[in-house]
């Protein structure tokens, strides 16, 4: 499962959520099985590489696994299962885009981790079945959360996404006592934040539209967020004021890593790399597996004039802290703690996300149709979409 990996199997088995996730996924797949087999949508149109539905969504919701996706199914606000469209290149587990009958809202599930996210979003962006040139993309998933920045159940909207695992990695036991972490930026010999990497791939940092981020935060702040009494009591074990608070909506930057890291040492390493790569502008807050991959695919599609990268919104809800409280080992916390807030984090994907979706639709003509103009740099470390990055020491980065 996304972010929580093996740990969530133990945690959710205790809470009964695994059975719910399987039931939701099975029910959905069963409902659309004929469409998948026949490669035909529920509205009778064949989803081939040459067909075109002319679907032009105003909002595309991006989920990563079945339980994240299921919060958007069977809701009173809109029916994204009205049109189920098989898209070539989507995950074998989640082969369809789901859209409302009028096509204004679509939802896709990428599958977990970077390769699945990049592949699915690339397939979506390049598909002739959709016109995404004016679509807003709402990444809506759970995440780990840094207790120094927020509490479980909180909803973070990122300006920066940082690929924190894009470094040399050593087992800390193979290094001398003077090393605090086994992660060292490429082309250097010391851990972050001492020296900027001399070798970059271009996916290490993406910066999204801060003006849109602020609007999304304002919309989501209207939500009454879910919490859990046991999770609230457990949060009091942490020494950080942010961890003790009830769930809230935050400006909260996200890290991406396929490697499920846990504990203070690796959390601090991710924080230091985030600080380094964003020139101190980004703050390590949430941990996820897909966001740099999703944004990388959208950026390349934007270069091809298929999407508008300035319309990307990254929203993550805190399912579990990225480190234990005092007195617990990282191992104990990851595999045996069952009160971190997974249930509220799933609830709050919908509770906060629906406010954003409704706000975009409600104010489409005056605010969103023409696009929200950013006041910050938007793009990658290469300046691929124009402008000069406000992070990194070199304005004209190229591949090593």
- Model confidence over 356-378: pLDDT tens digits? 999 999 999 999 999 999 999 99
- Residue 244 pLDDT exceeds 50: yes
d(CA 400, CA 388) in angstroms, rounded, equals: 19
For 345, the token pair is: 């984090």
As a whole number, the mean pLDDT across the chain is: 88
- Residue 291 pLDDT exceeds 90: yes
CB of 287 closer than 8 Å to CB of 208: no
d(CA 346, CA 354) in angstroms, rounded, equals: 13
For 394, the token pair is: 């070199």
For 70, the token pair is: 């299921």
d(CA 392, CA 19) in angstroms, rounded, equals: 45
- Model confidence over 137-178: pLDDT tens digits? 999 999 999 999 999 999 999 999 999 999 999 999 999 888
Using alpha carbons only, how large is the chain's radius of gyration in Å? 20
Taking Cα atoms as reference points, which of 260, 29, 294, 26 lies closest to residue 141?
A: 294
d(CA 148, CA 323) in angstroms, rounded, equals: 10
pLDDT confidence bin for 8, thresholds 50/70/90 = very low
The CATH homologous superfamily to which domain 5-368 belongs is Nucleoside phosphorylase domain (3.40.50.1580)
- Model confidence over 311-369: pLDDT tens digits? 999 999 999 999 999 999 999 999 998 887 999 999 999 999 999 999 999 999 999 99
């Amino acid at each position: 499962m996304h972010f929580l990996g093996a740990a969530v199997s133990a945690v959710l088995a205790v809470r009964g959520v695994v059975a719910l996730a399987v039931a939701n996924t099975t029910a959905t797949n069963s409902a659309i099985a004929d469409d998948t087999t026949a490669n035909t949508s529920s509205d009778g149109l064949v989803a081939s590489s040459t067909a075109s539905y002319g679907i032009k969504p105003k909002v595309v919701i991006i989920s990563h696994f079945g339980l994240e996706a299921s919060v958007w199914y069977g809701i009173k606000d809109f029916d994204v299962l009205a049109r189920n469209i098989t898209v070539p290149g989507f995950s074998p587990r989640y082969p369809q885009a789901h859209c409302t009958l009028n096509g204004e809202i679509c939802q896709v599930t990428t599958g977990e981790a970077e390769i699945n996210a990049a592949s699915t979003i690339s397939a979506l962006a390049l598909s002739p079945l959709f016109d995404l040139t004016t679509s807003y993309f709402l990444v809506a998933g759970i995440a780990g959360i840094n207790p120094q920045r927020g509490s479980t159940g909180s909803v973070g909207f990122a300006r920066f996404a940082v690929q924190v695992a894009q470094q040399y990695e050593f087992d800390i036991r193979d290094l001398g006592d003077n090393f605090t972490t086994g992660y060292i930026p490429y082309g250097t010999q010391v851990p972050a934040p001492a020296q900027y990497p001399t070798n970059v791939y271009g996916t290490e940092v993406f910066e999204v539209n801060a003006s849109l981020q602020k609007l999304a935060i304002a919309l989501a702040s209207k939500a009454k967020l879910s919490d859990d009494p046991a999770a609230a009591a457990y949060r009091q074990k942490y020494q950080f004021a942010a961890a003790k608070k009830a769930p809230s909506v935050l400006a909260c930057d996200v890290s991406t890593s396929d490697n499920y890291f846990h504990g203070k040492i690796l959390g601090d390493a991710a924080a230091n790399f985030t600080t380094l790569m964003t020139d101190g502008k980004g703050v390590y807050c949430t941990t996820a597996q897909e966001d740099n991959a999703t944004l990388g695919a959208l950026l390349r599609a934007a270069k091809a004039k298929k999407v508008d990268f300035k319309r990307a919104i990254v929203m993550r809800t805190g399912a579990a802290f990225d480190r234990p409280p005092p007195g617990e080992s990282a191992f104990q916390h990851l595999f045996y703690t069952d009160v971190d807030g997974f249930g509220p984090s799933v609830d709050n994907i919908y509770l906060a996300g629906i406010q954003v979706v409704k706000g975009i639709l409600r104010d489409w003509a005056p605010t969103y149709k023409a696009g929200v103009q950013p006041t910050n740099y938007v793009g990658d470390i290469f300046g691929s979409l124009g402008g000069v990055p406000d992070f990194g020491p070199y304005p004209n980065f190229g591949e090593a």
